[in-house]
Structure 1
Amino acid sequence: MNGHFSKLLLITWAILAFSCKPNLILTEVKTNNLTVAENSSLLDSQIVFQYLPFKNILEKDMKRVISFSEKEMVKGRPESGLTNLLADLVLEEGQKEAVRLNLQIEPVVSFFNYGGIRTWLPKGEITVGKIFELMPFENEMVFIQLTGTQLQQFYDIVASKGGDSVGGVRFVISNGKAKNIMIEGEMLDSASIYWMVTNDYSASGGDDLAVFTQRLKLITSGKKIRDIIISNFEGRKIRGVNLTETLDGRITNE
């Protein structure tokens, strides 16, 4: 009797102990969750408090007007006011940077990849925030040295896509190929060497540009394309020069 009772008591205790254990764990987890939530709220508040001054400064800078456009500019093929503007800007700033860094090179052509242009420029005021929308990537300006043959291959790729954002060059698209390629007023020479200004994404072969990975040389500038655009636009504003659309027939269809 006593033995039977002892076994029954042991089994009952085991069942109660086992059934109570999850309850204790559940209660503890619930308590910890509440504590963590309270600490997280406090931590979040501290972060927001410390970040708020920078947030206000950032928002103010994003609304800062850095230029004025005389008309709305959107990207298009074979050329457009926006693609021409950006390609010419990168070439101009690249030439200045090459001199500033004493690189002993002379960039004569540029490429601002079409896919990297993410929005349009409106007519009227252009803000810093709009440039972040236009160029949201952290791409860096680089210089690449290419042979004339490699440039021909590159412009054939551009022609196969119907055009792109290129500077310092003129050519005709014929049957998906680039012909009558003119650089600095002279026909492209396959035996010559040329320097191009572009971005590190394209230089690494992005957007099916494997030809750029076969370049002869590459020089980095340490400058972000977006920062270069902002600085250029600010300079125009200081000089009282508005953004204008330029369609000069640099790429035409036969």
Structure 2
Amino acid sequence: MRFTYLIYLLYILLLFNCKSPKEHLTKIEGKQIQITDSIAGDADIEAFIKPYRTHIQKDLDSVLAYSVDTYTKTEGAFNTAIGNFMADAVFDESNPIFKSKTGKNIDMVILNHGGIRSIISKGNITTRTAFELMPFENSIVVVAIKGTQVDSLISYLCKSDTPHPISKLKLSVDKNFNLIEASIQGKKIEPDKTYYVATNDYLYNGGDNMTFFKPDEGLYILDYKIRNALIDNFKKVDTIRPVRDDRFIMKK
């Protein structure tokens, strides 16, 4: 019995003595590797992607329409020609989709000035133009909100001092940015009426501090990207000549 006890004791001592010592991280080093033209490309990879690159470039360079002038988002204090074009294009292309799904019509559109990421240059408009104008994957959604929330939307626009693109909404303010008049599709806004507002998923979720969409009366996801709406609209109109108009003005 005593001999057995000694054997167990010896086994335990050997077990602990054979354990590997614990390793501890004592130092981390790193270095910056510059990616420049001096790094040679991989010929096999280049050969593999070449046909795909050629196909994509051909698609991006395909001509969709013609622009009679150059348009930028800095040309206008309350509304811009390029912003008006984008908001109107979203309305024109998404309303038939929304109506086919719900039997209802979109009442108005609001986008964000910061979402316009490029200009439309005079001359041919290509698919690349649409990708440069809207490089994000933002999709169009339609939000049902009451007239009281539309009032909050209008208050946001009046205070923002930024020409956010709108369509079918008409506003006028005084020199102190106090609202004088507001209408949707030529009609006075009714507090208890439900309005269907097209925007994008980023803004619906509070982007650019547009918190007036929630709570809502319903959300309709069209599964339709803004960029695709622009491409479809370019194809339809052939020639674009957007203008600044009286959809949002200051009366002196």
Scaled by the length of structure 2, what TM-score is found? 0.78
Aligned residue in 1 for 2:202: 201
Aligned residue in 1 for 2:230: 229
Alignment of 1:152-231 (within 5 A): 152-162=151-161, 163-174=163-174, 175-231=176-232
Aligned residue in 2 for 1:249: 246
Scaled by the length of structure 1, what TM-score is found? 0.77
Instruction: State which of 55, 58, 61 in structure 2 corresponds to 1:60.
Output: 58
Matched, 1:148 2:141: no
1:177: how far off? 4.0
Structure 2 unpaired stretches of 5+: 1-39
Distance in 2 between residues matched to 1:112 and 1:69, nearest whole Å: 22
1:245: how far off? 1.9
Q: How many corresponding residue pairs?
A: 208
Partners of 2:88 and 2:167 within 8 A in 1:
yes
Partners of 1:71 and 1:245 within 8 A in 2:
no
1:235: how far off? 1.9
Q: Which amino acid aligns with 1:235?
A: K
The Cα offsets for residues 44-92 of structure 1, whole Å up to 9 and x where unpaired, read as: 4443322211111111111111110111111233011111111111111
Q: Which moved more, 1:44-53 or 1:198-207?
A: 44-53
The Cα offsets for residues 155-205 of structure 1, whole Å up to 9 and x where unpaired, read as: 111111233200001111233343411112111111211001111111111
Partners of 2:94 and 2:229 within 8 A in 1:
no
1:96: how far off? 1.2
Distance in 1 between residues matched to 2:149 and 2:45, nearest whole Å: 52
Q: Which amino acid aligns with 1:166?
A: I
Q: Which amino acid aligns with 1:83?
A: G
Aligned residue in 2 for 1:94: 94
Q: Which amino acid aligns with 1:154?
A: L
Q: Which amino acid aligns with 1:61?
A: D
